[in-house]
Amino acid sequence: MSLSTLQAQAAPLPAMKAKQVSVSGLSSGAYMAVQFGVAYSAIVDGAGVIAGGPYYCARGNVSTATTVCSCTTLPAMCHVSAGGTDVPGLAAITSQNASNGSIDPVAGMNRQRIWLFSGSADTLVPTPVMDDLAGYYQNYVPAANIRYKKDLAAQHAMPTDFFGNGCSALASPYISNCGYDAAGELLKWIYGTLAPKSSNNPAGRFVSFDQAEFLSDPQSHGMAATGVLYVPPGCEANNAQACKLHVAFHGCKQDQASVSDAFIRNAGYNGWADANNILVLYPQAAPVLPMANPNACWDWFSYDDPNYAKQSGRQMKAVKRMIDRLTGSSDPGPGPGPATCFNASNYAHVQEGRAHTSGFYVYANGSEQKMGLNNIFTRTTLKRTAPDYYEIGTCP
């Protein structure tokens, strides 16, 4: 089925009851997979990371993203080096986010299975960044649960054993035939023994769905109007109760508008999905023009949302709601719950992770209510009613 046909048939994402959720991604999709797996560690069983880096590597700064966490600006401006991402500092931020409820407790990562890949010829996300990611995970994940491959001379691309450019190419669609099945290797590591992939020609169906159901006005926030779900034949019956769910995040310039269905069909996941009853969710990013996000990257450096790496991040919440739909879980949303109040200066609220700034003003996390100027003199009482969701108010 062609891209245009898929988009024309966009419909609600079907409700299913899949289990064993995992994530993976390339490039910006790798960063998205990492931050999603960390923020929602309670529901994510494992992650496959191809050319990414540690959680919150960019620290909300595009310059850091393009010079320290990657080399995606002028080569002379690249500052990638061993330890350059400051893993101890990123681990401290992770702990702070977990302690204030912005992300799940870090203990959830202890059971995850982590698969890492760095092409030794990758010039955009060089190996030292992935080495830092391996070091980051060692703070939380047992060594026996981490596999790291970095001895293949691959450029910045999704490695496959059947489709794409030459392994040394740096070119669209950023999929390379390296004689190496990265999708299969990461799925086997995360899930354990799997049946061999049936074919590189998918036997299931591609379901185009409306992403606006999960994020209002998605194209204003770096997500496309439609996403795609791959449903293998074995997941058609009984609401996919016997199926696993894998979320595959494409990289920059790999959205459907840029490469049509090249990533969705040829990244290597679908044959394994057919043979092992795995739903594959392909959420879709989109450009935000002219300068914020021209390459349809996922938000791992705050081009749209200062809370991008937290559960309250717009794109994070959207993908979580998709997963909830496909696993039969409910999204409680920011409804009423046991409230905790914090009375402090606006500056203190920001420093302690309950609020964020935009320009000179402060906004409550979650509700986005405007609190006033960012200073030590303006005091506000914030009421927390859900993880990382605060409203201006008082407690009984």
Residue with tokens 């203990």: 107
Q: How far apart are CA 89 and CA 95, in angstroms?
A: 10
Round to whole Å and give the CA distance between 141 and 154. 26
Q: Token pair 């935009």 is at which residue?
A: 358
Distance CA 283, CA 302 (A): 19
Catalytic residue among 22, 24, 27, 302: 27
For residues 58-70, b (16+ Cβ closer than 10 Å) or e, as one string?
bbbebebbbbbbb
75-106 residues labelled b (16+ CB within 10 A) or e (exposed): eeebebeeebbebeebbebbeebbebbbbbeb
Cβ atoms of 186 and 114 within 8 Å: the answer is: no
Write phi, then psi, for 46 (nearest 5 degrees). Answer: -175, 165
Three-state DSSP class for residue 120:
coil
Identified catalytic residue from 131, 156, 274, 367: 156
Question: Do 201 and 174 contact (CB within 8 A), yes or no?
Answer: no
- Give catalytic status of residue 221 as yes or no: no
Catalytic annotation on 388? no
Task: State both tokens at 308.
Answer: 């991008």
- The one catalytic residue among 45, 104, 122, 131: 122
Task: Check if 156 is active-site.
Answer: yes
- Distances from the Cα of 373 to the Cα of 84, 346, 357, 359, angstroms: 34, 7, 9, 9
Output the DSSP codes for 37-57. Answer: HHHTTTTEEEEEEES---TTT
Give the active site residues.
27, 122, 156
